[in-house]
Structure 1
């Protein structure tokens, strides 16, 4: 089986983990946590990074610190992994699901503009949804598959309508828009280090921000809001969302290899695109103008994608469908979905993700491509 996307632990991971074991610094305190946060902040061009247990917890804390309240509305693209939609519900808020661009599969900025103009009003310096009267307090642009939302157009809209921007950059570590890293545009950016991401700590996430005070607050909340270095005095509701030192050690080793991993992902994407260009219905994701993507997960559209999915998995190629759109999932089926043609539904029906680990060989990429060609022969 050629796997979809697996970790590449070919650097100093064993050395740094052994150091943790040898010194007994395996839990939530230790030098590797600080190193990992510093490396993440520097790489993403922000002033503060806070390591968390996973990307979902990073999103949760970011929503809390952005002032999202119960009964608020939060704008979210309909094509996303489920985590940000779940986190909105954690807050007692609801998502407004926004359709995506048919080419880039990112949140549709033209559609978003129309939504604001037709469906919203500014009242008492906050944005409200006209039909329900509910406050819209935040937007979560998800940089899907390592491509990016057009942030140059999104940010002025969000500023005008008085809503906070929390970037879900969990798939886009290493992607840039006009040279500026994903996760560095909004009030917060969130990263994930899950096992299938471009670098991994097994689990793990990161909160990025340029607001020093909010960065300190994020660190406080993720460490159970312990307010005294000696006494177990906690001054507000906190969360056990801290990343442990032994996983941060893996993260430090992975960060050392990240530039090479990004280069490999881009090479794999280019090779697939060249090999598959004549396959019936082949349609790769169009990269947003001015974006240099990390090419995290090679995903593209095909004719009879469900048949191809079964054929590949039956023949030793681990392939996965795209995420089910949020409006089709039971927890979110009653939430507002703003769309014209339901592009999200069309993308879901035709898209598949192909093996693209950073340690996949060119020979394996060509083998996968040949299997796809066999299916259509």
Structure 2
């Protein structure tokens, strides 16, 4: 069966000796905007494309304000800082995620607490979240504390895995009930909607990524989405070295960060955003082809959760066990089709092996079985 799968995938991406997992696609105004940027000489952190990219993305997602950042990891770090996460705090998140999620909270000096995911979303389970809180945490004066460690639990960070939204309505409800700040790691879900609302706009802050392998790319970059314009203004200030505007003096009023996206990257982003609707339609077409095919050969394909419209950033199949997963990975990569397992669980990495965990049965099941298959935009 593996050879049939390889031939089917190669047939979807003809004229490629080796089919990559996800390649960028440049078919719009990228070169035009890059040339404009170069001709203006404003290729660094000041220029019209930075402002335009922020405004265009806010309009697309429905956020009140958007703030560009140098990459998605630093954007998560800034999001956590903006909601008040401090050194020694705990953050509830999922272990089935890319390392950036946990690296970012570590930059803040915070401690992750790992909660299980739902199988239909691959993202943080609001039911498992509430079960853990009820057993191991307590509210004191509208602040949640871990009964075992005594630490304050400040925030909750779900990740919309491969572009599939988590159960946001229930998650928002749980976070509100326990006074948790919700920060959405929407790095993979540009163009994904939960009941008609774009991911990254449900929490206090949402984060997008524009790495080279994302649905749209700026080469490297990230963005924070805000519904609170004053908070967005503060974030913009702090990510640009906290410099107070002045005709010539260098005055700074906070510890700032040099997390600014260069204008030349934003120029690329503006062009990519223009082509996003077409990219999303092509990716949905590919996902439909995959689903029909894998259903016919008895392999489970990861489809969008009910009530959602996923961007299908990376398509995924779920194999019967780890042994089959490993043999499939070996065969496909040896025969010209790039496939990848899902990430190792964060609690299995040496940096986070001492972190607190809830029951992680779903995470363990999925980590042993999920494989990503080629998902580039087919023109």
2:363 is aligned with 1:344: yes
CA distance in 2 between counterparts of 1:154 and 1:295 reads 22
Correspondence for 1:167:
184
1:5 counterpart SS class: coil
Distance 2:196 2:329 in 1: 36
Deviation at 1:321, TM superposition (A): 1.1
- 1:88 and 2:105 matched: yes
Superimposed CA distance per residue, residues 320-365 of structure 1 (whole angstroms, 9 cap, x where no aligned partner): 111111111111110011115x221221111111111013x6xxxx
Which segments of structure 1 move beyond 3 Å, counting only runs of 4 or more?
A: none
**What pairs with 1:310-325 in structure 2 (closer than 5 Å)?**
310-325=330-345
Alignment match of 1:354 (pick from 358, 373, 376): 373
Q: Give how far 1:308 is off.
A: 0.8
SS at match of 1:136: strand
Q: Counterparts in 2 of 1:52-131, with a 5 A limit?
A: 52-131=69-148
After TM superposition, the score normalised by the length of structure 2 is 0.92
Aligned length: 358
Residue 48 (structure 2) pairs with residue 31 (structure 1): yes
Q: Does 1:179 align with 2:179?
A: no
For 2:306 and 2:350, the matched residues in 1 are separated by 35
| 3-state secondary structure, aligned to 1:49 | strand
1:367 aligned partner: none
Partner Cα separation in structure 2 for residue 33 and residue 228 of structure 1: 18
Q: In the alignment, which of 240, 248, 257 is matched to residue 275 of structure 2?
A: 257
Distance in 2 between residues matched to 1:174 and 1:69, nearest whole Å: 31
- Unpaired runs of 5+ in structure 1? 362-377
Matched-pair contact (CA < 8 Å) for 1:148–1:293:
yes
Kept in 2, the 8 Å contact 1:326–1:333? The answer is: yes
Q: Which residue of 296, 302, 311 maps to 1:294?
A: 311
Q: Which residue of 2 aligns with 1:374?
A: none
Distance (whole Å) between structure 2 residues aligned to residue 163 and residue 104 of structure 1: 21
- TM-score, L = length of structure 1: 0.93
Q: Which residue of 2 aligns with 1:245?
A: 263
Distance of 2:169 and 2:296 partners within structure 1:
34
Task: Give the aligned CA root-mean-square deviation in angstroms.
Answer: 1.1
What's the counterpart of residue 354 of structure 2? 334
- For residues 305 and 298 of structure 1, the distance between their equivalents in structure 2, rounded to whole angstroms, comes to 15
Decide whether the 8 Å contact of 2:294 with 2:301 is kept in 1. no
CA offset digits 1:187-228 (Å, max 9, x no partner): 100000001110000001000001011000010011011113
- Give the match for residue 226 of structure 1: 243
Q: CA deviation at 1:104?
A: 2.4
Match of 1:332, SS state, is coil
Match for residue 308 of structure 1 among 319, 322, 328: 328
The 1-side partners of 2:250 and 2:287 are apart by 51
**What is the distance in 2 between the residues matched to 1:259 and 1:77?**
30
CA drift of 1:286 comes to: 4.5
Structure-2 separation of matches of 1:212 and 1:103: 34
Deviations 1:278-311 (A, max 9, x none): 335x222243221111111001112401111111
CA contact 1:228–1:234 (8 Å) conserved in 2: no
Task: Could you tell me which runs of 5 or more consecutive residues in structure 2 were left unpaired when the two chains were aligned.
Answer: 1-17
